[in-house]
Amino acid sequence: MWADCVNRGGPGSQRCHNSGMTEHSTQSQADLLPPDARIFVAGHRGLVGSAVQRRLTADGYQVLTRTRDQLDLRDAAATAAYLRAERPDAVVLAAAKVGGILANSSYPVQFLEDNLRIQLSVVAGAHQADVRRLLLLGSSCIYPRLSPQPIPESALLTGPLEPTNEAYAIAKIAGIVQVQSYRRQYGASYVSAMPTNLYGPGDNFDPLGSHVLPALIRRFHEAARDGLPEVLLWGSGSPRREFLHVDDLASACELLLRRYDDDVPVNVGCGADLTIRELAGIVAEVTGFTGEIGYDRSKPDGTPRKLLDVSRLTALGWRPRIPLAEGVAATYRWWLEHSADHPARDSVRR
């Protein structure tokens, strides 16, 4: 019954894929990927895509990749032709135009249109090429600004979004609905995942475009190196945030490809948060900064708390494995090895 539902197209399959999935079928132990599956990882040079590639390769899958120069995923015809020629068993969509607050608020057109175009090309192209499994990566920014904490998947489309990244979030929400629509209309076994803040090897340390954790690593490293007495951070230090090592995300992606087949996008996080003040303490210790940490309370704090409810994912048996302090230390070592002494390569990519 389960395997039948997964791959059969047409209106008859609607019964299997709408929200009427039973708890039992959602958590089926049937493996939805053959052990020798060929998997196209779109965006394999990014933070997420590179981790997914490492994980899938280590577990014996054959990973297919294309650089942006070889295949611009905004080009629907070229993407469809590539997927028809390769006919992978599965696709992981980790290619996206991604950036921090500054980039999002400066270039909303590109954040909306590039992401819509990439999703349209890859999801429609995969369906045309009879790709059986697809995992689309979204983001926790799809949830309303004032969501209940921890944020359940059911919070989607229940309130206004954070205005600074609305264009990006709307594009990602369109991707979720696109995946759900392929499930409903064609019985496609496509799913989506919503990760929390990620960090790890391959992260972007560019001062203008980086997320909070690599930005802190860089600032504390430079302060320790230059013997500065104080690092001054924006806000009060009291907002709470959640961080997940990207290798833990990659293991969740593999699990979802193998075991999850439902309409509902799945939150991926570690299930625990900490204050920015606590995070700064960890980064200071890792980087060897022994000065004062000050807080500029005239600057905005942002949302007081942002934590995902990950009970849907943990019900599948997944647990994160990399403690934050350990992951931050490993990421710091990676950055030192790859770019710290080469400013021109701040956002070095694999």
Q: Which residues are catalytic?
A: 168
- Minimum CB distance to ligand NDP, residue 306 (Å): 11
Measured from the CB atom, is 37 or 141 closer to ligand NDP? 141
- Minimum CB distance to ligand NDP, residue 151 (Å): 13
Measured from the CB atom, is 110 or 238 closer to ligand NDP? 110
- Minimum CB distance to ligand NDP, residue 212 (Å): 9
Measured from the CB atom, is 187 or 202 closer to ligand NDP? 202
Alpha helices, DSSP H, located in 129-268? 166-186, 212-226, 246-259
| CA dihedral for 150, 156, 160, 162, sign (positive or negative) | positive
Angle between helices 212-226 and 324-338 (to 10 degrees): 70
> Cα separation of 142 and 204, whole Å?
21
> Please, what is the end-to-end C-alpha distance for the chain in angstroms?
42
- Minimum CB distance to ligand NDP, residue 147 (Å): 15
Contacts to ligand NDP by CB under 6 A: 43, 45-49, 68, 72-74, 94-98, 118, 137, 139, 195, 197-198, 211, 349
Measured from the CB atom, is 99 or 187 closer to ligand NDP? 99
3-state secondary structure of 249: helix
> Cα separation of 166 and 108, whole Å?
8
- Minimum CB distance to ligand NDP, residue 168 (Å): 8
- Minimum CB distance to ligand NDP, residue 223 (Å): 24
Pairing assessment for the beta strands 240-241 and 243-245 based on DSSP bridges: unpaired
Give yes or no for a contact between 50 and 95, defined as CB atoms under 8 angstroms apart. Answer: no
Alpha helices, DSSP H, located in the chain? 2-7, 14-17, 23-26, 47-58, 76-86, 101-106, 108-128, 166-186, 212-226, 246-259, 276-287, 311-314, 324-338
The set of residues, in sequence order, having a beta carbon less than 8 Å from that of 118 and lying 6+ positions away, is 42, 73, 74, 93, 95, 96, 97
- Tell which residue, 40, 50, 41, has the closest CA to residue 204: 50
Measured from the CB atom, is 191 or 223 closer to ligand NDP? 191
- Minimum CB distance to ligand NDP, residue 330 (Å): 16
Measured from the CB atom, is 16 or 90 closer to ligand NDP? 90
Q: Give the residue carrying structure tokens 């990620």.
A: 198
Give yes or no for a contact between 241 and 279, defined as CB atoms under 8 angstroms apart. Answer: yes
Q: Length of the chain, please? A: 350
Measured from the CB atom, is 206 or 261 closer to ligand NDP? 206
> Cα separation of 168 and 164, whole Å?
9
